[in-house]
Amino acid sequence: MPSALRTAPRIAVLPPGDAALTKAAGAAVEAGGGVVVDPDEAEALVWTSAGMDPETTAAALRDVLGRHRGIRWVQLPWAGVELYAEAGLLDHDHLWTCAKGVYGKPVAEHALTLTLACFRHLKAFSRAEGWSGQAGQTLFGRRVTIFGGGGIAHELVRLLGPFGCQVTVVRKRADPLDDARVLGWDRRNDALGDADAVILALALTEENSYFFASPQFEAMAAHACLVNVARGRHVVTDDLVEALSTGAIAAAGLDVTDPEPLPDGHPLWALDNCLITPHTANTEAMATPALAARITDNVHRFAAGETLEGLVDPDLGY
């Protein structure tokens, strides 16, 4: 056995609230060659709380790190880390990793599902109580713009391949991506006018909060749809309601909203051209085994002194 693997990494798994997830995370640590210990003995921490209450979750993690100075690496549970970035927790004193790239397949699948549902008018048809006229368009050969260049975008480009779509990806840096035209963030509005579908699949940062508003809807074609599987705060909700109500765009498929949960009686619920799913692109049943695999892999890497997967850049916030 290599010398770098002689000492099993000492890893705490916190908080203990979700018994099933905590148990799965602990088993994943052990499968990676680590040992689960109390936080006062730990050199690393697997944090299992996504936090429906951001302030409470951030405060709890800050307290753990403040009281246990031996922790050097923190594994966060989901791909999005804006909760921790906005709380000022992402520092250079710790090595931070998250689950980015892990959930790409199920979220991309859901994005494709919402896109097809928008194209085929499924929200309106599902509400119908009688036979109606024909409506809908095909996805084959269409132009699709994806905002975001991470794991979800990569999977979406692959899934759209059989449809013969012309795909444009808008990302922070215009690095090449197979089977897609790539534009940098400074050209983000250039990718809207000829798109039949626009899909948001990017990390939430201060720079792109509420970046999709009336000017972007006005730039889209009237037959186009918007799909959001990223974060609700990318979109100005009132402007989306206006765009859907006036026919500025044809439809929207939303797995995330602002606010979230979307209150009962909100105007979006009543629109026949807006299909909403309750943040289910990646359910806990899908997420737990995928996260466990990432934990196991990263514990192996941590023990061997190798580069970890899903590294978070504290300066970029993702």
Residue ranges, comma separated, of all CATH 3.40.50.720 domains in the chain are: 3-102+283-304, 104-276
Instruction: Based on the residue annotation, tell me whether 279 is a catalytic residue of this protein.
Output: yes
Q: CATH for 104-276, among 3.40.47.10, 3.40.50.720, 3.30.450.40, 3.40.50.150? A: 3.40.50.720
How many Cβ atoms from other residues are within 10 Å of residue 114's Cβ? 27
The 8-class DSSP code of residue 212 comes to: B
| Contact (CB, 8 A) for 180 and 168 | yes
pLDDT at 3: 42
Residue tagged 């695999």 (tokens)? 293
User: How is residue 101 written in tokens?
Assistant: 């790239």
**Cα-flanking dihedrals φ and ψ of residue 304, to 5°?**
-90, 0
| Contact (CB, 8 A) for 8 and 304 | no
0.75 cut: is pTM over it?
yes
Domain 3-102+283-304: which topology? Answer: Rossmann fold (3.40.50)
Q: 271: which residues sit within 8 A by CB, 6+ positions away?
A: 123, 241, 244, 245
Handedness of CA 213, 219, 221, 225 (dihedral sign): negative
User: Which one, of 75, 19, 20, 66, lies nearest residue 46 by Cα?
Assistant: 75
Spatial distance between the Cα atoms of 48 and 53, rounded to a whole number of angstroms? 14
pLDDT at 51: 62
Spatial distance between the Cα atoms of 137 and 157, rounded to a whole number of angstroms? 20
pLDDT at 125: 96
**Catalytic site residue from 10, 110, 143, 231:** 231
pLDDT at 5: 46
Instruction: Based on the residue annotation, tell me whether 121 is a catalytic residue of this protein.
Output: no
pLDDT at 21: 87
Instruction: Based on the residue annotation, tell me whether 306 is a catalytic residue of this protein.
Output: no
pLDDT at 133: 92
Spatial distance between the Cα atoms of 302 and 309, rounded to a whole number of angstroms? 10
**Catalytic site residue from 260, 266, 300, 301:** 260
**Which parts of the chain sit beneath pLDDT 70?**
1-6, 50-52
C-alpha dihedral, 304 to 308 to 309 to 312, nearest 10°? 170
Spatial distance between the Cα atoms of 4 and 296, rounded to a whole number of angstroms? 17
